[in-house]
Structure 1
Amino acid sequence: MLKAVFLDRDGVINKASVIDGKPYPPRNLDELELIPGVDQAILQLRDRGYFCIVVTNQPDVARGKTSKETVESINQFLIRHLAIHEIISCYHDEHENCGCRKPKPGSLLKAALKYNIDLNKSFMVGDRWRDIEAGQNAGCKTFFIDYQYNEKQPQNPTYTVASLTDAVNIILNEAS
């Protein structure tokens, strides 16, 4: 079985716009800005045998604030420029109660089935409580990148870190 690192997109790989203490995704490809060091961190994971999969909630599509095409253009840019295997996007809003929207673990479980991933040897890295809870619900160790957002905080992440680079250093040290 493979081991994976699941990554949230906005706030983990690319910068999120923070307005009134809450994070928001880039509105288009022109606003996309990668967080420094992310490319190398993901490459290190792949070089050490980790499957790298982005799992992202994109409810602004259901809310009519952005188009699915815009989200997919950002995702395609990330796939072309980073060493990630796949991006799984949930376009549903909370009231739709779908299984793929974090904090539910559906996206992680789907990837585990598709790629034969051992979730107990895998990690979820995110910057919001939904990411951490999804990882916990799937059986992964979790890394919370704490940007001090003005919102609900996660309960008992395995680790709290300042960046994806910090998370990757811990993952790679644990694996040695």
Structure 2
Amino acid sequence: MNNPTSQFARRAAVFLDRDGVLCRSDIRDGKPYAPTRFEDFELLADAEPELRALKLGGFVLVVVTNQPDVGNGIVDRSEVDRMNAEITRQLPVDAIKACYHAQTEGCECRKPKPGMLLDAAHDLGIDLAASFMVGDRWSDIDAGRAAGCRTVFIDRDYAERRPEAPDFITYSMAGAAGLILAQAADANGDMKGPHHAERH
């Protein structure tokens, strides 16, 4: 069997969480929740232009999303699949990796474990060390670090545990894209952090 990665040069990627990064989360008591109906699914205004900028910058774009409401029996998988299909229709993403397991199942794909990132790297020939993970929750940052990526935390000021030592901190997808593109443009820049993007 041919190794899928043999068809590609190793490329840098931007891994992106879905809810709260690309689409609007439902905030209740300061905590974010994924939409449960397709009718409530709404892409954030800065998602499309910033992903196009990253794509023009040469990055592979991969969405990696935990969707435990499926495994918990709260949402039908077909509803989540409709939302993900809308992402592929409107945004220039190369792949979507989703974990549908409940939190208690102990799978290898659910963030903060790096399984989805590792699978995408194998499938698409991604150089993890040259890649970034963008997320708005601690589990995103932990998954990115475990996979060997640099991490960008979009701080939405949720009332929950914060990530430990992300490489970069910003406040929007626009800020995240700007940080990543600046790093790509300056290979000799300081890669260590945390670096903060200014709030606009």
- Which TM-score band (shorter chain)? over 0.9
Amino acid at match of 2:126: I
CA distance in 2, matches of 1:31, 1:6: 24
Equivalent-residue separation in structure 1 for 2:96 and 2:120 (angstroms):
10
Q: Which residue of 2 aligns with 1:96?
A: 105
Secondary structure at 1:61 match in 2? helix
Amino acid at match of 1:116: G
SS of structure 2 residue aligned to 1:35: coil
**1:167 to 2:176 alignment:** yes
- Structure 2: tracts of 5 or more residues without a match: 1-9, 186-200
Look up the equivalent residue of 1:82 and give its one-letter code: L
Q: Where does structure 1 lack aligned partners over 5 or more consecutive residues?
A: none
Q: TM-score, normalised by structure 1?
A: 0.98
| Superposition deviation, residue 79 in structure 1 | 0.3
RMSD (Å), alpha carbons: 0.7
Match of 2:198 in 1: none
Q: CA deviation at 1:74?
A: 0.2
- Note the alpha carbon deviations across 1:90-136, whole angstroms, 9 max, x for none: 00122111110000000000000111101000000000000000000
1:4 equivalent in structure 2: 13
What count of residue pairs does the alignment treat as equivalent? 176
TM-score, L = length of structure 2 = 0.87
After TM superposition, what 4+ stretches of structure 1 lie above 4 angstroms from structure 2?
Answer: none
Q: Displacement, 1:27?
A: 1.5
1:30 to 2:52 alignment: no
What do residues 127-158 of structure 1 show as CA deviations (whole Å, max 9, x unaligned)? Answer: 00000000000000001111111111100000
- Of all paired residues, the percent bearing the same amino acid is 45
1:49 corresponds, among 50, 58, 64, to: 58
Q: After the TM superposition, which residues 1-176 of structure 1 pair with which residues of structure 2 at under 5 Å, given as runs?
A: 1-176=10-185
Shift of 1:49: 0.9
